[in-house]
Amino acid sequence: MRPAPFSYSKPESLAQALHAIAGGAMPLAGGQSLIQAMRLRTQEPFAVVDINAVHELSDRIEITEHFVEIGALCTHRQLIESEVIRQEFPWLAKAALDLGDVQVRNRGTVLGNVCWADPRANMAVALLASNATISVTGTKTELIPITEFFTGFRATVLGPRLATSIRLIRNSNSIGTYLEFARQRQDLALCNVCVVHDDHGTCVSVGGIHQRPIRLSALERILNDPDSTIRDLHVQIQNTLSKPIFDPIIDHHGEPAYKLHLAAILIERAISACLKGGDRD
Ligand SMILES: Cc1cc2nc3c(=O)[nH]c(=O)nc-3n(C[C@H](O)[C@H](O)[C@H](O)COP(=O)(O)OP(=O)(O)OC[C@H]3O[C@@H](n4cnc5c(N)ncnc54)[C@H](O)[C@@H]3O)c2cc1C
């Protein structure tokens, strides 16, 4: 199907891009989610603002002593090829490698995947367990913890603003694993899980069982309790997932109970993979 008519602009400054967004235009980065949605007419923006020529936006991964900053235009491929990501955040490289096919990874941006906020978006789930922070610019610039970024099904706190980068804290003791279950390779996952362990404790995020990617804080509390044992892990995961706190996605890919079952298996596998050293380059 063809998209509904829309106007297109490709400004060179952030101010011009923000002006267009304030006027109702939708940002376009790699177009791997937005163009498909426009062709299916699930999105019908009257205006699209291409952010690829904006001088203030970068495709680079900046490294400082304490942080790694992923620019708004950084593609999945650039993330996979980054030495620092492969060495210090290999679960993010794994999540990016499991996303789409080579063309999609070449065009699609990491931040675009987060802003699309699909409940099963690979990078959203992986960055959620990594305690990333999103830098957002509108009338002012703000750093928003990713735990506060997703508000519902494909919905975020963004409003008429642009996300400009993703910030990660460098921690040489971090270990993490990203796992997903998809019907076939390159498909969007039915369910995906990321577990990250560092000096501050263990974080568990899940996609596919709720309207947005979520952290399982009840399970995290148990995992971070020095008195809990790995023996009752299976029961603890089942207990966490049996609580009526989830607002499931209803689609033709499977019953909510099936997706919770997948989540339980993936979480247990990801935790045991972390205990064995997690994802590695
Ligand atoms: C064949 C195929 C397979 C795929 N498989 C997977 C998969 O397995 N897993 C997965 O997670 N995804 C998958 N995707 C989806 C897709 O690759 C990502 O969601 C995509 O990479 C998003 O990045 P983009 O740069 O293309 O964003 P776009 O499509 O350009 O934008 C996506 C959304 O984010 C907004 N946006 C983009 N950048 C910004 C910004 N800087 N600030 C504010 N808003 C912004 C846009 O307005 C839009 O709403 C697949 C897509 C295709 C076509």
**Section 19-23 average pLDDT:** 98
For ligand 1, atom 27: residue with the closest CA: 112
Q: Is the pLDDT of residue 42 over 90?
A: yes
**Section 83-98 average pLDDT:** 97
Quote the percentage of the chain above a pLDDT of 90: 86
71 lines ligand 1 (CB under 6 A): no
- Would you state the pLDDT for residue 281? 78
Q: Is residue 178 within 8 Å of 117, Cβ to Cβ?
A: no
Q: Express each pLDDT in 170-218 by its tens digit.
A: 998 899 999 999 998 888 999 999 999 999 999 999 999 999 999 999 9
Q: Is 92 strand, coil or helix?
A: helix
Phi/psi of residue 139, nearest 5 degrees: -75, -25
For ligand 1, atom 38: residue with the closest CA: 112
Average pLDDT value over all residues in the chain: 95
- Would you state the pLDDT for residue 228? 75
Q: Is residue 75 within 8 Å of 108, Cβ to Cβ?
A: yes
Q: How many CB atoms lie within 10 A of CB 152?
A: 12
Q: Express each pLDDT in 221-230 by its tens digit.
A: 999 988 777 6
Q: Which residues pair with 202 in a beta bridge?
A: 197
Distance 241 CA to ligand 1 centre (A): 28
In CATH terms, the fold of domain 61-169 is 3.30.465
Question: Residue 75: which pLDDT band, with cuts at 50, 70 and 90?
Answer: very high
Options 3.30.43, 3.30.1150, 1.10.3470, 2.60.40; CATH of 7-50? 3.30.43
Q: Which ligand 1 atom is the nearest neighbour of the CA of 154?
A: 49
Higher-confidence residue: 53 or 200?
53
- Would you state the pLDDT for residue 230? 65
Domains 7-50 and 61-169 share a fold: no
38 lines ligand 1 (CB under 6 A): no
Q: Is the pLDDT of residue 231 over 80?
A: no
Q: Which residues pair with 137 in a beta bridge?
A: 141, 162
Name the residue of 33, 107, 123, 135 whose CB sits within 8 Å of the most ligand 1 atoms, as the mutation to test its pocket: 33
Among candidates 95, 80, 97, 100, which has minimal Cα distance to 33? 100
In the chain, domain spans: 7-50, 61-169, 176-275
Name the residue of 28, 32, 48 whose CB sits within 8 Å of the most ligand 1 atoms, as the mutation to test its pocket: 32
Amino acid at site 226: P
Degrees (nearest 5) of the Cα angle 34, 91, 71?
50
Q: Is residue 110 within 8 Å of 134, Cβ to Cβ?
A: no
Q: Which of 39-48, 114-123, 148-157, 244-253 has the weakest average pLDDT?
A: 244-253
Superfamily for 176-275?
Answer: CO dehydrogenase flavoprotein, C-terminal domain (3.30.390.50)
pTM for this structure? 0.97
72 lines ligand 1 (CB under 6 A): yes
Phi/psi of residue 169, nearest 5 degrees: -85, 130
Q: Is the pLDDT of residue 91 over 80?
A: yes
Q: Which of 41-45, 87-91, 237-241 has the weakest average pLDDT?
A: 237-241
Q: Is the pLDDT of residue 115 over 90?
A: yes
Q: Which residue in this structure is represented by tokens 């996979």?
A: 80
E-assigned strands of 97-249? 133-137, 141-145, 150-152, 155-156, 162-169, 175-181, 191-198, 201-207, 214-215
